[in-house]
């Protein structure tokens, strides 16, 4: 079975639109959460989000084309091209039938749906754009990237809410392991910071309402957390078989040692109280990686800042590691980016690889009073140097979809 490695990464995030910007901002404990500038929020209960700032589509889209592609697609094309550049991979140098694109999205072109619905209601069906359907369907990010590259290998779009990107990575790993592809582009994208996104998550009381201090609203593991902060963006990883990467002399950033999945089989939005579904996905990932619990030194948690989710996840980690957690550090990237939904786990996978490369763990921001039920080192006191060879990236979606990827030092 082929070993899978990471050779390139790219992103668009509330903390910057390159991997370097993202990583440096996390180490500096900057927040990408601020008052929403894209639309008037005065009638809404929530006025802030992890909004993408200063994004320029022009390197990959003409002004005319930018109007025909949703932000969802623009973000992931930008990320994919940057990832290919870091991987020093010429798309024409690979066998196009053995190169594929699996890119996830939890919501698709959500802003376009909203804007088009307004147009339909106010101006009638004749004013609906002929580009409406291609702009909103979730798979079009993967479609557009494969079209641009001419890659004809496996291409599709996992949709599993906030676990979508990890499922994209896992699916891409499977294609390489099974010998169906040499190179895969994996990741996810989201554009949910829009009127209907804010209104919908606010109505279900899932997101924080700390309008008085947005930068302190996303507070995973804190005793007084009150919900997640909605974010957006994209993250992409270039995955290759190790033999393919070595043959072309690529720099290997990390290995993917194992993957794990499970279902809570419990509730449409709430996690299992006992964390058994999350525990199972962690155990499955460890089994796939063929490593013991003492080998994993770091976990980038799902860590959303929800009252139920953080405790359930940390309890599951504690149980899966049999209480042997003295060597383990965990953190929550969402404390600074907000929750990027279908893009979250791809971006957090990038952060996990950066942590392995630098042997450094960024802080979890906004832990003012740690929840006493959380028995883990959540890195609330700042970034720290940490020596480790294996790390996990956790991601769990509404509907009980659980996913874990184990990255390893090369």
Give the pLDDT confidence score for residue 361 in this predicted structure. Answer: 98
The residue whose two tokens read 């921001």 is 365
Residues 324 and 176 in one domain: no
User: Is residue 267 included in any domain, yes or no?
Assistant: yes
Which residue from 395, 409, 389, 405 is spatially nearest to 259, judged by alpha carbons?
405
Residues 366 and 224 in one domain: no
Q: What is the Cα–Cα distance from 105 to 108, expressed in whole angstroms?
A: 6
Give the pLDDT confidence score for residue 354 in this predicted structure. Answer: 98
Residues 187 and 57 in one domain: yes
Residues 145 and 218 in one domain: yes
Residues 212 and 270 in one domain: no
Regions of the chain short of the pLDDT cut 70: none
Q: Which domain holds residue 373?
A: 259-408
Residues 175 and 321 in one domain: no
User: Is residue 80 included in any domain, yes or no?
Assistant: yes
Identify the domain boundary among 191, 220, 247: 247
**Helix, strand or coil, per DSSP, at residue 113:** helix
The residue whose two tokens read 């720290």 is 384
CATH of the domain at 183: 3.40.47.10
Give the pLDDT confidence score for residue 1 in this predicted structure. Answer: 83
pLDDT digits (tens, 9 = 90+) for 107-160: 999 999 999 999 999 999 999 999 999 999 999 999 999 999 999 999 999 999
Are 148 and 77 within 8 A, CB to CB? yes
The residue whose two tokens read 């883990």 is 376
Are 168 and 103 within 8 A, CB to CB? yes
Are 399 and 160 within 8 A, CB to CB? yes
Residues 174 and 282 in one domain: no
Give the pLDDT confidence score for residue 384 in this predicted structure. Answer: 94
Residues 227 and 150 in one domain: yes
Give the pLDDT confidence score for residue 274 in this predicted structure. Answer: 87
Residues 215 and 284 in one domain: no
Identify the domain boundary among 247, 280, 296: 247
Q: What is the Cα–Cα distance from 367 to 314, expressed in whole angstroms?
A: 15
Identify the domain boundary among 222, 247, 272: 247
The residue whose two tokens read 């449409």 is 268
Which whole-number Å values give the CA distances from 169 to 16, 247, 267, 304, in the listed order? 22, 22, 25, 20
**Residues annotated as part of the active site:** 162, 302, 339
Which residue from 325, 316, 299 is spatially nearest to 391, judged by alpha carbons?
299
Residues 290 and 400 in one domain: yes
**Total of domains in the chain:** 2
Report the predicted TM-score, pTM, of the whole model to 2 decimal places.
Answer: 0.97
Residues 115 and 65 in one domain: yes
Which residue from 407, 356, 347 is spatially nearest to 79, judged by alpha carbons?
347
Give the tokens for residue 243.
Answer: 């033999």
């Amino acid at each position: 079975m082929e070993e899978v490695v990471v050779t390139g990464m790219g992103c668009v995030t509330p903390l910057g639109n390159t991997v370097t910007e993202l990583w440096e901002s996390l180490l500096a404990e900057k927040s990408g959460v601020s008052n929403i500038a894209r639309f008037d929020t005065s009638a809404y209960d929530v006025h802030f989000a992890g909004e993408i700032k200063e994004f320029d589509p022009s390197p990959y889209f003409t002004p005319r084309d930018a109007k025909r592609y949703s932000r969802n697609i623009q973000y992931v094309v930008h990320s994919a091209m940057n990832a290919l550049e870091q991987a020093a991979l010429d798309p024409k140098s690979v066998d196009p039938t053995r190169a594929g694109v699996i890119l996830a999205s939890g919501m698709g072109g959500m802003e376009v749906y909203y804007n088009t619905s307004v147009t339909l209601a106010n101006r009638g069906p004749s004013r609906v754009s002929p580009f409406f359907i291609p702009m909103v369907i979730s798979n079009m990010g993967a479609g557009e990237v494969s079209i641009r590259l001419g890659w004809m290998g496996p291409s599709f779009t996992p949709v599993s809410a906030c676990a979508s990107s990890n499922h994209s990575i896992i699916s891409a790993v499977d294609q390489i392991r099974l010998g169906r592809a040499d190179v895969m582009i994996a990741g996810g994208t989201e554009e949910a910071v829009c009127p209907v996104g804010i209104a919908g998550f606010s109505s279900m009381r899932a997101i924080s309402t700390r309008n008085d201090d947005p930068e302190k609203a996303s507070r995973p593991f804190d005793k007084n957390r009150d919900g997640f902060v909605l974010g957006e963006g994209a993250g992409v990883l270039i995955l290759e078989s190790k033999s393919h990467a070595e043959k072309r002399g690529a720099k290997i950033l990390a290995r993917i040692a194992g993957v794990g999945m499970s279902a809570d089989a419990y509730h449409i939005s709430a996690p299992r109280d006992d964390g058994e579904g999350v525990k199972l996905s962690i155990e499955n990932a460890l089994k796939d990686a063929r490593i013991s619990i003492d080998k994993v030194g770091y976990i980038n948690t799902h860590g959303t800042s929800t009252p139920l989710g953080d405790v359930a996840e940390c309890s599951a980690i504690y149980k899966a590691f049999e209480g042997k957690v003295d060597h383990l550090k965990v953190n929550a990237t969402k404390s600074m980016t907000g929750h990027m939904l279908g893009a979250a786990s791809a971006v957090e996978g990038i952060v996990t690889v950066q942590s392995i490369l630098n042997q450094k763990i960024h802080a979890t921001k906004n832990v003012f009073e740690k929840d006493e039920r959380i028995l883990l080192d959540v890195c609330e006191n700042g970034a720290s140097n940490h020596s480790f060879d294996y790390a996990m990236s956790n991601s769990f979606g509404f509907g009980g979809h659980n996913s874990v990827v184990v990255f390893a030092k090369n």
